[in-house]
Amino acid sequence: MIPLWLFTAALASPVEEILIAERDRAIQTFSKEDEQVHYLAIALHETHKLELSAVDGTLARVHEQPQRILDVDLRVGTPELDSTRPLRGLSAYEGSQKKALRLSVDGEDPDALRVALWRAIDSQYRGALQRMVMIRAEHTVKIEEEVEADDFEPREGLVDTRLPVDITFDPEAWEEILVDLSEQVDASPWVFGQGVRLTVDRSVQTFIDTEGAKLRHGRTHARLSLNLRTVAEDGDEVSVFRAFDVHDPARLPEREVLAAWADQAVQHLHALREAPRGTPYTGPVLLEGKASAVFFHEVFGHRVEGHRQKREWEGRTFAAKIGERILPPFIDVYDDPSLARWGEIDLNGHYAYDDEGVPAQRAELVREGRFAGFLMSRSPLPEVEGSNGHGRRQPGREPVARMANTIVHARQAVSPKELRAKLVAEVRRQGLEYGYIVRDIDGGFTLTGRMIPNSFNVRANTTFRVYADGRPDELVRGIDLVGTPLVAFQNVVAASTEVEVFNGHCGAESGWVPVSGVAPGLLVSRLEFQLKEKGQERPPLIDKPITADGSADGGVQ
């Protein structure tokens, strides 16, 4: 019998006492300085991760990685004006000097942790002093800021322990499954590159601050992913990505389900390879559930992050729109990281506390089509209530307001069949030959600043032409959704009763954080497609070494 592999916490509980002692020692020292520290938080992130991968039918990587990262967040000044205030002009582009401080995982020497804390706190204080000089100079020589708001929201510190459960996991059994899946997809002659990967991790964060917070919490996560690549005859690089995200690897699908899942991915890759490239287009588009969820994440989510409303270089699309209608009255949007699941699907954006010690809570963003509020960290906005638990970061970065579980809810909806009929009717009304259904999206990016077009690019992966004359739907590739948010939202006309979940990771200035989106299918009366970048290399000149029966050719025996 293969022994089970057990994730356990990497560091014993006395770590909290060490963090508190070094916090108190530092504050006592800084109290004698001219510039006072009004807030100090220390977080220790401990992660134990196992990564398995298979490529070309062989086991490619087995990597076990315990990791400890220390974060120190120190603020000089007062909550009204402190060293974290964004700089303006050319100095605004200097960026954060904060870096991840990685600690040794070989042993639990208390003195090593104390020395690391001493260095980090001293470095953060020196940097904050220099920044305060620049901030005060700006207040003397520059005009008043457009948004006058405090830099920090003081709160009463919370005390809680919510350690994630240990994960029982059999790596040897999964090594065999990954190799089998890799062999299965590699048997296809049109799969020119592929990889199957499983990552399992358990993370614990110990958080203390000068307000009395003492928190220990964390998460467990497993992701099984499949990445396939090929090259079309016209040189276009085509890929298909599939993934399962769960809180416990025991919830991953059985082997038979995974085999069918892999077959479907290969068939889809082949269909995309043979599909024609699309052309630039503007007209009706139906976004199915997952595509709709990613669309809202990119087009809407980043623009309602609270800290962006205070930065002079940001476009502030919704800064002055609280109470105004931005979507049809049948649409609500909220973000709720306290949700662990949607139905039977685990949500990747779930957490108990954010990275500023604030409990996860629901943030109302749109209510009956009217803009209702922002995702808030502890960076306040005028006439907006305090943090709603969305201050997030990748360890080693500074926390800012970020999305978690973004939920789009339709008060009025029709069946998927009826929504498709509405698409065809809209295509005919506009006198067009066809419209589009977008079934899947690889991701995308959005531009929120003022010096560049305030637009979005959503990377469509699975897109079908739907003809007004009733011809069969046609899969196309090579086009992306583009546009601007206010125009796109004005054109939402109907929603589906079918709701889907997207799980992934989102990158922004505070690093990569896990996120989820839940949304119904949406019909948009007018959206725009532009051409995607295109590869220029021909497919491989030599056929892939596959025998007639589909098995790999082992060569000379």
- The percentage of residues in the chain with a pLDDT greater than 70, rounded to a whole number, is 93
Per-residue pLDDT tens listing for the chain (557 residues)? 233 444 444 444 578 899 999 999 999 999 999 899 999 999 999 999 999 999 998 998 888 888 999 999 999 999 999 999 988 865 544 556 677 788 877 656 788 889 999 999 999 999 999 999 999 998 888 888 888 899 999 999 999 999 998 888 899 999 999 999 999 999 999 899 999 999 999 999 999 999 999 999 999 999 999 999 999 999 999 999 999 999 999 999 999 999 999 999 999 999 999 999 999 999 999 999 999 999 999 999 999 999 999 988 888 889 889 999 999 999 999 999 999 999 999 999 999 999 999 999 999 999 999 999 999 999 999 988 899 999 999 999 999 999 999 999 999 999 999 999 999 999 999 999 999 999 998 888 888 888 778 888 888 999 999 999 999 999 999 999 999 999 999 999 999 999 999 999 999 999 999 999 999 999 999 999 999 888 888 888 888 886 434 444 433 22
Position 50 scores a pLDDT of: 93
Position 90 scores a pLDDT of: 54
Evaluate the CA torsion angle 33, 35, 39, 43 in order and state its sign. negative
Choose among 242, 296, 335: nearest CA to 495.
Answer: 296
CATH of the domain at 43: 3.30.2290.10
Are 259 and 291 in a shared domain? no
Task: Decide if 543 is inside a domain.
Answer: no
Are 267 and 352 in a shared domain? no
Position 530 scores a pLDDT of: 94
Among residues 274, 293, 314, the one where a domain terminates is 274
Are 258 and 316 in a shared domain? no
Domain span at 362: 281-531
Check if the beta carbon of residue 528 is closer than 8 Å to that of residue 295: no
Q: Got the DSSP string for 129-164?
A: HHHHHHHHHHHHHSPPPSS---S----PPPEEEEPP
Are 332 and 434 in a shared domain? yes
Are 270 and 285 in a shared domain? no
Are 268 and 341 in a shared domain? no
Please count the other Cβ atoms lying within 10 Å of the Cβ belonging to residue 60.
Answer: 16
User: Distance (Å, rounded) from C-alpha 359 to C-alpha 387?
Assistant: 9
Are 269 and 406 in a shared domain? no
Position 554 scores a pLDDT of: 34
First to last CA, the chain: 33
Task: Decide if 552 is inside a domain.
Answer: no
The distance of Cα 334 from the centroid of its chain, to the nearest Å, equals: 16
Choose among 139, 86, 507: nearest CA to 309.
Answer: 86
Are 270 and 292 in a shared domain? no
Q: Retrieve residue 9's tokens.
A: 């916490």
Position 8 scores a pLDDT of: 44
Distances (CA, A) of 124 to 40, 83, 338, 379: 10, 10, 32, 19
For the chain, what is the domain count?
2
User: Distance (Å, rounded) from C-alpha 461 to C-alpha 238?
Assistant: 9
User: Distance (Å, rounded) from C-alpha 96 to C-alpha 411?
Assistant: 42
Among residues 274, 303, 334, the one where a domain terminates is 274
Are 270 and 286 in a shared domain? no
- The pTM assigned to this predicted structure is 0.92
Task: Decide if 201 is inside a domain.
Answer: yes
pLDDT in tens, 299-338: 999 999 999 999 888 888 898 899 999 999 999 999 999 9
Position 6 scores a pLDDT of: 44
Distances (CA, A) of 506 to 391, 455, 456, 461, 464: 14, 18, 15, 18, 26
Are 225 and 304 in a shared domain? no
Task: Decide if 14 is inside a domain.
Answer: yes
Q: Retrieve residue 446's tokens.
A: 């959005």
Are 489 and 361 in a shared domain? yes
Task: Decide if 55 is inside a domain.
Answer: yes
Are 248 and 317 in a shared domain? no
Task: Decide if 414 is inside a domain.
Answer: yes
Task: Decide if 554 is inside a domain.
Answer: no
Among residues 226, 252, 274, the one where a domain terminates is 274
pLDDT in tens, 195-232: 999 999 999 999 999 999 999 999 999 999 999 999 99
Task: Decide if 99 is inside a domain.
Answer: yes
